[in-house]
Amino acid sequence: MSRQPPPSVHPDGSPSRLLVTGVLTKDSIAWEIARQAQEAGAEVILTGFGRTRRMTERAAKHLPTPPPIIELDVTSPADLAALRGEVEQHWDWLDGVVHAIAFAPSDAIGGDFLDTPVASAATAFEISAFSLKAVTQAVLPLLEAAPRGASVVGLDFDASVAWPSYDWMGVSKAALESVSRYLARDLGRRGIRVNLVAAGPLETLAAGGIEGFHELKDHWSRQAPLGWDVNDPGPVATAARFLLSSDARGITGSILHVDGGAHAMGGSLVR
């Protein structure tokens, strides 16, 4: 099978080959990361699975260059085992992976924290946190083969406090933050960086499933000194691209907050 020729090294240090998970609609952060990466000259592969794959395919058509889409259910050992080979049909290495996968069952989010059964909490953890390790491990040889080192970037929501209605998704985000640090510990010697971007609330498909999301939006309108546009994933995507690039070659195990500064404020601001 013929392979794509090695891409040129971009002057701004941007990664050349990216695997981007979690693209469902044009409003998603992952879609905006893919768009910005392609605009900068990168090649991109997306993942999708099951019934939602059709949504990924529709969103992919709106990217500058519609990319290949690989089947990936992060709870499927077979999909994870096949992921490396699927990517190798296109490329010999990966410069970066974007982890934009999160899910909590309806009884694990929305305000009934005490009543959530263990099975639902475990599902939220497996999909939203453990999958960062699972996906990274699945393509580890391709990341190690990257000529200039590689980067894994996950999408986070500040887990240092308890949020209204966020419940076991909040717990899973805390776990995601810990998983990223342990991955950074183990993969640094292999030339692979692992970081997270903690975004402010955005009007995405995932946000639509969070009861009480309007409370988070109201909080940010009062708390963020720079202000915050819940309809603009651009700043978050730009930060993710920075962490994916060689400009961030000395950064790993970190969480970059892109939330208008809300995380640093101790209370609501006077407007």
- Report, as residue numbers or ranges, the catalytic residues: 166, 173
Rounded Cα distance, 268 and 105, in Å? 31
The CA-based angle 245-249-254, given to 5 degrees, is 95
Q: Match 């392609």 to its residue by tokens.
A: 38
Please say whether the dihedral angle defined by the alpha carbons of residues 208, 24, 94 and 236, taken in this order, is positive or negative. Answer: negative
Give CA–CA dist 236/129, Å, rounded: 19
SS3 (DSSP) at 154: strand
Which residues is 18 bridged to in the sheet?
44, 96
157: number of Cβ within 10 Å:
25
Strands of the sheet with 192-199, listed across from one edge: 69-71, 43-48, 17-20, 96-99, 150-156, 192-199, 255-258
Inter-axis angle of helices 167-187 and 118-125, nearest 10: 40
Task: Tell me how far the alpha carbon of residue 170 is from its chain's centroid.
Answer: 15
